[in-house]
Amino acid sequence: MGIDLVNSWATMPLVSVITPAWNAVDFLGETIDSVRAQTFHDWELLVIDDGSTDETAALVRRYAAEDPRIRLLQQRNRGPSAARNFGMRSAAGQFFAFLDSDDRWHPRYLQAQLDVFTLHPDAGLVTGNGWFDGGPFDGQPTRPVGAGHPELPLPTLIAQECSVFIMTVFRRIVFDTIGGFDEQQWTSEDYDFWLRAAMAGFKFRRNPEPLGWYRVRGNSLSRNRQRMLKGMLHTFSKARERCDGEPRRLIDQQIARFESELLLEEAKAAIEGSDFSAAAGKLRALHARTGSRLVGVFTWLVTHTPSLAARAYRLRSWRPGLLRTASPPAIAGEAR
């Protein structure tokens, strides 16, 4: 079953793998090895060196000398959106596949995603699944595991902001139709791309079988939660202007949700920085939104007895309640 494995590299590759890389030499070799180990062979790998100052470019050149399917592209440091766009503009394949520079694929990954396109020829994008590699959820799937290849309509993509994984394969026509990533966004830029694709009428399918490893590192871009929240709010605000009806209603719900979560994160940062006046302001705004008794009590403490509030905040019995107050989301960028 599936797309023919006959290698047509003499003409054009069927799949272009897009891998942006910035100072990625520590992990990039494993990433490239996982592409070379694919059971599907008709691919090209474009590694976009985004102004690295380490040996990233030299590493890619060594691989390219061994395998002509691997190409090195270089640009000054302009961020992941610009790097992916450079890769997609330079790609020759009929399908594009995203693979970050510290992640890896199971050898069956590409073939399994292409099989979904064969089974569902109306699909424009097939999003995959994987396992966390490191972090508190090490070894667990990044997305629910199930059977079949369910469709992900626009309302689902809005209401479940993590429904699309960065390990996604899509038809070239998606890029040709909606353009590339917003190069002004350095966070949640992938989610913005997925929403634009869905709004343009392209159908998403999910392959729930875990076939990749998503590496969790302490210095990953997605670790800055406030920055991620602001990126998500920017994405939703842009999307809101392009839709109406039920999608807009769902977006308004998500905006309210993320604004509350951002207030909470800003209050936490202010408490940890002993700026209790700023923390009280953020908590008052959060209390006005949620009406939470716990937030109200903590606002009073921060305002009138900041030293006691700081001690209470450090207690584990308080913090989970505060975190639940704003219904914190699983931000798209946190599990890409």
Percent of the chain residues past pLDDT 90, beyond the cut = 76
Whole domain around residue 181: which residue ranges? 15-223
- Average of per-residue pLDDT across 97-124: 98
Q: Is 314 contained in some domain?
A: yes
In this predicted structure, the answer to whether residue 332 has a pLDDT above a threshold of 50 is no
Task: Looking at the structure, tell me whether residues 191 and 270 fall in a common domain.
Answer: no
236 with 215, same domain: the answer is no
Residue range 226-237: average pLDDT? 93
> Tell me, what's the pLDDT at 136?
87
- Please report which confidence band the pLDDT of residue 318 belongs to, taking 50, 70 and 90 as the band edges: low
Model pLDDT, residue 186? 80
Q: Which of 202-206, 247-251, 280-284, 305-309 has the lowest mean pLDDT?
A: 305-309
Write out pLDDT tens, residues 138-180.
999 999 998 999 999 999 999 999 999 999 999 999 999 999 9
Shared domain for 230 and 179, answered yes or no, is: no
Residue 275 lies in a domain: yes
Averaged over 184-209, what is the pLDDT?
A: 94
Please state the rounded mean pLDDT for residues 52-61. Answer: 98
CATH of the domain at 72: 3.90.550.10
Has residue 334 got a pLDDT over 70? no
| In the predicted structure, residue 250 carries a pLDDT above the cut 70 | yes
Q: Which of 165, 153, 152, 212 is nearest to 191 (CA)?
A: 165
DSSP-based three-state secondary structure for 68: coil
Same structural domain for residues 207 and 267?
A: no
Same domain, 174 and 274: no
pLDDT band per the 50, 70, 90 thresholds, residue 198: very high
Poorest-pLDDT segment among 131-135, 218-222, 292-296, 321-325: 218-222
Same domain, 258 and 155: no
Asked if residue 124 belongs to a domain, the reply is yes
Do 243 and 146 reside in the same domain of the chain?
A: no
pLDDT for the residue 195:
97
Q: Which of 1-5, 32-36, 268-272 ranks highest by mean pLDDT?
A: 32-36
Measure the CA–CA gap between 73 and 128, rounded to whole angstroms. 26
The residue with greater pLDDT, 188 or 58, is 58
Of all residues in the chain, the percent with pLDDT exceeding 70 is 89
Within a domain: 8: no
Whether residue 70 is found in the same domain as residue 192: yes
What pLDDT score does 104 carry? 98
Checking if the pLDDT of 69 tops 60, the result is yes
* Predicted pLDDT at 93: 98
Strand duo 203-215 + 168-171: pairing: unpaired
Q: What pLDDT is attached to residue 324?
A: 57
Please say which residue of 205, 223, 241 terminates a domain.
223
- Among 166, 197, 223, give the residue marking a domain's end: 223
Examine the domain organization and report whether 247 and 119 are in the same domain: no
Q: What is the pLDDT of residues 91-104, one digit of tens each?
A: 999 999 999 999 99
67 lies in some domain: yes
Single residue among 223, 240, 261 that ends a domain in this structure: 223
Q: Is residue 2 part of a domain?
A: no
Cβ atoms of 293 and 335 within 8 Å: the answer is no
Separation between Cα atoms, residue 25 and residue 32, nearest integer Å? 11
Is 203:125 a contact under the CB 8 Å cutoff? yes
250 by DSSP, 3-state: which?
A: helix
* Residues 26, 44 within the same domain: yes
* Spatial CB neighbours of 187, under 8 Å, sequence gap ≥ 6: 221, 222, 224, 227, 228, 230, 231, 232, 333
Please report whether residue 5 resides in a domain: no
* Mean pLDDT rounded to a whole number for the chain: 90
Tally the domains of the chain: 2
Q: What are the backbone angles phi and psi of residue 225, rounded to the nearest 5°?
A: -65, -40
pTM: 0.87
Is 188 found in the same domain as 264?
Answer: no
Instruction: Evaluate whether residue 269 is within a structural domain.
Output: yes
Lowest mean pLDDT among 59-63, 68-72, 135-139, 299-303: 135-139
Residues 111 and 44 in one domain: yes
